[in-house]
Amino acid sequence: MSAMETLIMIPGPTHVPPRVLAAMAKPMIGHRTDEYSAMHLACEARLKRIFRTDNPVLIFACSGTGGMEAAIVNTLSPGDKVLAVNCGNFGQRFGEIARRFGAEVDELAYTPGSSANPDDIAAKLAADGDIKAVLTTFNETSTGVTNDMAAIGAAVKEHDALLLVDAISGMAAIECQTDEWGLDVVVAGSQKAFMLPPGLAFVSVSDAAWSAVERSTLPKFYWDFRAMGDRAEEGQTAYTPAVSMIFALDTALSIIMEEGVDAFAARHGRMAAAVRAAIRALELRLFGDPAHASNTVTAVRGDGFDPDGMRKVMSEKYNVLLSGGQKELKGKIFRIGHMGAVTEREILTTISCLEAALTHVGVAIARGAGLAAAIEALAESP
């Protein structure tokens, strides 16, 4: 193994900056202290700016899937009808969680790589007034597609249904107007654009969602929004918080605020555009609807070569970690994560090594073309 750090270009966990790593190593403190409460409140205030919401943002000790489960068990009751919008593995998971907890799930499934059509959601809601909630994925990590949450929010707000959003791999990197778009429960995760290790989920809860919480009869304890909400104003959680992760969150949020919430998202747009330009210049095919290409993860078809063999070369020869396809996409695509701390340097490194790795596994490419396209794309939007 190289003495150099691996360059992690997967859609989470992402590179954790040294300042954040240093915060992880801070000596432990008691969690029922003023020191903890002040830090927790300062974190929540900045999370609200990133979520663009006035709603409380609860912080759970769990990975993102736990946050998705929390969204379900707090707002639904057994037998509730929900519309699960499935654009890939994580959309499928959200519906599966609801099904597991006894919801009656109507699935609106799209071919992987497609984005959700807000008109389809509107039609479903118009046809069935009993739908209590719509489950959606903001950014589908498995396919590299971002859904139009503004339009989906508008479609749902015509009806009396909650909009639950898995925004785990999108939040902070891609503008998310939680309140303006009418997103009722929005779930984010630490190990994506937030530049943190995995282990925290952030969950915003709208007034309409709080009303649903009052009606919900699904059993819950660890995920209980009310138990969390009861102590949120004092900067406390219902159960022991992951203190070191909160130290790190505090630092990561400072880094985001230093760059600026808008600039942070804009940078992601630039990086993603450069990656896509390089992929096109190499005459590889992007997977997924280009009109809804994600700014945090790019999926690329492995047409005519084994993407997993190429990834192995990327990892072993160049120490750059990419992701493969999940489930039915295994062996068919590879995925480049470009979120969090990534700068132009990491994009150029990744494209350069990708060209070398493709050459190594015998894919005929115009060597240098990917890099040239990336440089040009970055120069166009300085």
H/E run at residue 335: strand 333-337
Which residue lies nearer to its own copies by CB, 48 or 220?
220
Nearest to 261 by CA among 374, 136, 357, 174: 174
H/E run at residue 38: helix 34-51
Answer for which of 100, 215, 330, 367 binds its own copies (CB under 8 A) is 100
Site for its own copies, residues 245 to 284, rule: CB under 8 A: 245
- From residue 196 to residue 215, the character string flagging contacts with its own copies as x (rule: CB under 8 A) and all else as - is -xxx----------------
Question: What percent helix, strand, coil does the chain show, rounded to 5?
Answer: 45, 15, 40
Q: How far apart are the first and last CA of the chain?
A: 36
- The number of helices, as runs of H, and strands, as runs of E, in the chain is 13, 14
Which residue lies nearer to its own copies by CB, 63 or 139?
63
Site for its own copies, residues 10 to 69, rule: CB under 8 A: 10, 12-16, 21-22, 24-33, 35, 61-66, 69
Give min distance, CB of 25 to its own copies, in A.
Answer: 4
Give min distance, CB of 183 to its own copies, in A.
Answer: 22
Rounded Cα gap, residues 21 and 245, in angstroms: 10
| CA dihedral over 258, 261, 263, 265, signed as positive or negative | positive
Which residue lies nearer to its own copies by CB, 135 or 242?
242
Q: Is 218 in the site for its own copies (CB under 8 A)?
A: yes
Give min distance, CB of 205 to its own copies, in A.
Answer: 18
Strand partners, 114: 112
Q: Is 96 in the site for its own copies (CB under 8 A)?
A: yes
Q: Is 301 in the site for its own copies (CB under 8 A)?
A: no
Rounded Cα gap, residues 183 and 174, in angstroms: 15
Q: Encoding tokens for residue 270?
A: 């630039």
Q: Which residues bind its own copies (CB under 8 A)?
A: 1, 5-6, 8, 10, 12-16, 21-22, 24-33, 35, 61-66, 69, 96-97, 100-102, 189, 191, 197-199, 218-222, 238-245, 321, 323
